[in-house]
Amino acid sequence: MVNFNLSGKVALVTGVSYGIGFAIGHILYVDGGILAYIGKQPAGE
């Protein structure tokens, strides 16, 4: 897996309640990004 340094970068991710949006948001967060996210449901429901 390729690791990116996203420190100081801002991302807006929609659809983060589950599925691919959740996975993308998680990866961006783990790699140091500042994350603004939107989802219709609380995670895990």
Contacts of 28 (CB under 8 A, 6+ apart): 6, 11, 13, 35
Query: Tell me: the pLDDT tens digits for 18-33?
Result: 889 889 888 888 888 8
Distance CA 29, CA 14 (A): 14
With beta carbons less than 8 A apart as the criterion, state whether 31 and 6 touch. Answer: yes
In which band, very low, low, confident or very high, does the pLDDT at 10 lie, cut at 50, 70 and 90? very high
Distance CA 15, CA 21 (A): 5
Paired tokens of 27? 């990866």
- Calculate mean pLDDT across residues 3-28: 86
**Which domain range does residue 14 map to?**
1-45
Distance CA 41, CA 33 (A): 22
Q: Does 14 have pLDDT greater than 80?
A: yes
Q: Is the pTM of this model over 0.75?
A: no
Of all residues in the chain, what percent carry a pLDDT higher than 90?
7
